Structure 1
Amino acid sequence: MIEIKNLSKIYKDEFLYRNFNCAFEENKVNVILGSSGSGKTTLFRMMLGLEKYEAGQILGFNHKKIAVVFQEDRLVEWMNVYDNVAFVLKSSVEKQEMDKLINKALELVELIDYVNYSVKDLSGGMQRRVVLARAIVCRDSILFMDEPFKGLDDELRLRIITRLKVHWRENRTTVFLITHSQQEGMLLGDIIYKLAEKPVKFYKI
């Protein structure tokens, strides 16, 4: 169980979170739903240890590997699609197994025909799919994703979401998905938490 206990965070001289408590289930897709400015990304960053908070505890991440999809793509522009995805595997996987994992991930995001393309030659939406493929191949126990489907057209987004749901269930991945889209939340989430009010409160949907 991953728990947040009595968390308080001040932002612009007022409490964004105050004595905030929540428990998340492992091996589930936990969706954190909220509008722009509701505190989703701040919570994400606090859980990852990237942002300080005034009081409280965030428990359950010790000795666990974590993969992250930020809002920014953070690709290596001088590498091709294959090497960008392989970047997260090189120290832990043999070449044959790496090829298998990467091909499967690129097929899932419909980029298998672009495996040797330089990422700087891809559209913004295609670059985002490279980021998703990189997250898919990670064998980490916890995956954080902040607005991961931005820039994708509706039909493609729905196809990828459908495949990801199956992939995560098969691999028993613990996912924290931050989104403003209720549709994405309803399609992907095993458990949906909606942020509301200030200081922030969670409502389970």
Structure 2
Amino acid sequence: MTELGSVAWPPVPIRTERLVLRAPEARDRAAFVELLTSPEVHTYLGGPRPRDQLEREMPGVPEQWPGSFVVDLEGAMIGQVLLRRATEHRRPAAVGKVDLGYLLLPRAWGHGYAAEACAAALDWLAGAPPGEPVVLATQTANVRSMRLAVKLGFAEVERFQAWGAEQWLGLRPPGHAFQVSAFSVARIR
């Protein structure tokens, strides 16, 4: 990931009503392997990674770079939220903007955790390098992800074909007010 400005990393963990967003730790390695090799998680992402390859290549502390948050529920990793600078390999409308991504283990689906975690990460980003527009890309076939994007304040910029499917690119302008009161986002002290 390229820099998100001069953001101190890792940030103080972020607490919501039910979750903690924190930096990855060694204890999260098995959950990262499960997340990245899950066929269900990767239905709209080009398929899972091979488990044996991932086991060999994954470092002891996975995904430890600015913008990678573990989504923790009651002391266990249930997913990941990513904030990374979109590179020249992305759609032209996305280049240079912060790209929001998220993955949750299937057992965590359907409980509102993705909305809660993404809202908390976007709230943190609004106070880190202020004034950043954020983009989110998803397959149009991923109905849940499309609904979440709209709920988080993303508006369609374009649709395009990639990885054999129609993709949707949304933009959330800087300063977008999102109602996080339902999630009681607060920094852990």
What TM-score, normalized by structure 1, do the two folds share? 0.34
Higher relative contact order (CA 8 A, sep 6+): 1
Q: More helix per residue: 1 or 2?
A: 1
TM-score by length of structure 2 reads 0.36
Greater C-alpha Rg: 1
